[in-house]
A and B are shown apart, each in its own frame.
Chain A
Amino acid sequence: MIRVLNILLVCTSICMLVGVYALKYSVEDVAAEKVTLQHTIERQKADLSLLKADWAYLNQPANVAPVVNRHLVALNLQILSQDQFGSLDILPMRLKAPDANALNSLFQSLNSGVDPIQQIISESN
């Protein structure tokens, strides 16, 4: 009886020994993995902060303005002057129905070879 019990106990302790060692090694693996992950996260956070700083730099008026100035001529950019502002209430209201007479006279003058709109444009130039 006692012998059986002893054998059983020895077997259990061997099993537990193996189990504990396995656990120890797996914990070590997990810990190592955790350190690697933490390092990666730290690294990526650092990269992210650099990218954010890059973006902040590129987005600054101090950085954009020289780019604009460099391409002023190529893009024919001009500074908005005060008389170029308008508001909605200075626009005329839309007509309820097309002005038949005006359209007729427009088509007549077009048929006779005179373009009144072109005339306005050339006069304003």
Chain B
Amino acid sequence: MVALDAGSLPIAVDGARKLRGGLTTARIRWVIAVLLLLFAAICGRLVQLGMVVQDTSIEGKARDIITATRPAILDRNGLELAVDVRVPSLFAEPRRIIDVDEAAAAVHSVLPDLSIDWLKQRLTGDKGFVWIKRELTPAIEDKIMQLGIPGLDFLTESKRFYPGGNEAAHIVGAVNIDNQGIAGMEKAMDDEDVALLQQVGLARGNELAPVNLSIDLRVQHVMHDVLTDALSRYRAAAAAGAMMDIKTGEILGLVSLPDFDPNNPGSALQKDTFNRMTAGIYELGSTMKSVTIAGALDSGKVKITDTFDARFGVRFGRFTITDFHGKNRILTLPEVYKFSSNVGAIHIMQQWGKENFRAFLHKMQFDVPEPLELPERRNPVVPKTFSDIVAATASFGHGLSVSPIAMLRAMGAFANNGVMVRPTMYKTSLADAEKTYQQVISPQTSAEMRYIMRLNANEGSGSRMNMLAQGYRAGGKTGTAEKVVNGRYDTSKVLSLFASVFPLDNPRYAMMILVDDPHTEPGQGGHTAGWNAGEATGRIIARVAPMLGISPNFDPMLDNNLVPPELR
């Protein structure tokens, strides 16, 4: 129609159909373009959503680590030493809180120990997560949930609980608020594998298998009880002890007083609460005579029938070493042990040779840190080479500082046919323990050692121990080491020790008891080891032996059988 009005121009008319067709194609193109844009937008958004990284960390720590659990720690019979308790912890998301004042007032009404100002400051801002208070009770959780304030929520955390309190404090150790071990077996387990499990997120929920320690909680309780009593009875500064199964190396009980409450790890920081059994090194006094005599007998250079002149002190330049309970006569070897003669011990060591003595100390691993799993450890101080006087004092336990656990291990080996086992805090089978066996003295020397240990209990310094533990065939050696005060040995301040083994006719358990700075019990005879460490040992054996399946036996034949053929 337009073309017709134009008149003279040549008429070129597209058909209406064709015209409409072109229009449709254009429209379809437009629609396709719009649709493509739409899909592109949707895809873009999807990609964007996929790229979003959700912040699951809580104040810089992964959420999994905070909610991670720790394996329960059980004793050898399955009693709990440490368990996880699931407790709610209150947190806030400040960016979701509408009315800060109202929220702060409401939280303050349930938790009055949090100040309102602190709460307001805490709840203001644009953060996604802040802790308000951790480790609350389910009752408080209910109350706060009933307040119905948006932006407040709970996270279930694992909290460590030690049902025994102080009793096994030095064994289990403690954890910090983030459930990481900071002492004792908790730390040892972390160093081994628990920390790794937590990191890879395998430690959520209650899935971790409980760990059985070698501890027998009944033995532990008795030791703790008797040593607490010893602390007040002898007005001592400290007391400690450990008992070991000499066949498997399992530590059945380990106590060090004063101790702390692992439920309140802050109490571990108080003075003098360190673990004396593993982190303490001491001059072990006359208990070392067991080592001197065992080594000398085993070398063959000294015989159990030999005699030693203890009439005079031994002179080293200006110094003369004499005996505390001087007999001033010629002593047989068992008498040297029984009367704890320093002079006799020196003569035995000299007949054996000081290099041999030093080498034997290395064989018994007195000069390396003991291999117990507990992380609290200290290097022993043993001179590399022995001069004449150092060797002489070392033969009765002065001039070298070692861990009481080393002596415990040695006593076990001397009684157990000369086989030394590696001590452990984990429950162990006999077969596994046998892999760590090490023959340190001959079975024959071991038999002679059993005889003199029992002799010392029947007639010597261990008689007070034996009186309390009659029928359990215990034996051992006392040690009273003078303590160094201001660089000099002070006769009034001593460290009392008792190293024992029972029952000696079929030795099974070794024990080491240590009483630091004891005083004479009113009405009793003295402050040397037999009166305190010895008595404590006797009390522990009398209570513990029936639990361990050892029944008392008063048959004199048992003692007679211990006497070596040469002395019958």
Q: How far is the CB of A64 from chain B (nearest CB, A)?
A: 9
Give min CB distance, A7 to chain B, whole Å: 25
**Contact indicator A60/B552 (Cβ below 8 Å):** no
Interface size on B, residues (CB 8 A): 32
Out of B166, B206, B221, B542, which one reaches A49, CB within 8 Å?
Answer: B206
Query: Is B206 in contact with A65, judged by CB distance below 8 angstroms?
Result: no
**In contact, A82 and B85 (Cβ under 8 angstroms):** no
Question: A82 and B79: CB pair below 8 A?
Answer: no
What number of A residues sit within 8 Å (CB to CB) of B? Answer: 23
Residue from B87, B164, B221, B552 within 8 A of A46 (CB atoms): B87
Q: Does A5 contact B (CB under 8 A)?
A: no
Give the contacts of B151-195 with A (CB-CB under 8 A). 156, 161, 163-167
| Interface bits A75-95 vs B (CB < 8 Å: 1, else 0) | 000011011010100000000
The digit string for A34-64, where 1 denotes a CB below 8 A from any CB of B, is 0000000011011101101100110111110
Complex Cα spacing A49 to B80, Å? 12
B230 within 8 A of A: no
Chain B 133-164 per-residue mask, 1 if CB under 8 angstroms from chain A, else 0: 00000100000000000000000100001011
**Most chain B CB inside 10 Å of its own CB: which residue of A59, A62, A79, A83:** A62
A42 to B141 Cα, complex, angstroms: 13
Chain B residues near A60: list those with CB within 8 A. 79-80, 163-164, 167, 217, 221
Main secondary structure on B side of the interface with A: mixed
Q: Decide if B225 touches A85 in the complex (CB within 8 Å).
A: no
- Binary interface profile of A, 94-123, with partner B (CB < 8 Å = 1, else 0)? 000000000000000000000000000000
In angstroms, Cα B203 to Cα A18, docked, is 44
1/0 per residue, CB under 8 A from A, across B75-115: the answer is: 00001100111111000000000000000000000000000
Closest 3 CB pairs of A and B: A61-B221, A56-B80, A46-B86
Chosen A-B contacts, 11 in total, with CB atoms closer than 8 Å, are A46-B88, A52-B80, A53-B83, A53-B85, A53-B163, A80-B546, A82-B472, A83-B471, A85-B471, A85-B546, A87-B551
Known: A53-B161, A62-B221. 18 other contacts (CB 8 A): A43-B138, A45-B86, A46-B85, A46-B86, A46-B87, A46-B156, A49-B85, A49-B86, A49-B206, A53-B85, A56-B83, A60-B164, A61-B220, A61-B221, A62-B167, A62-B224, A82-B542, A85-B551
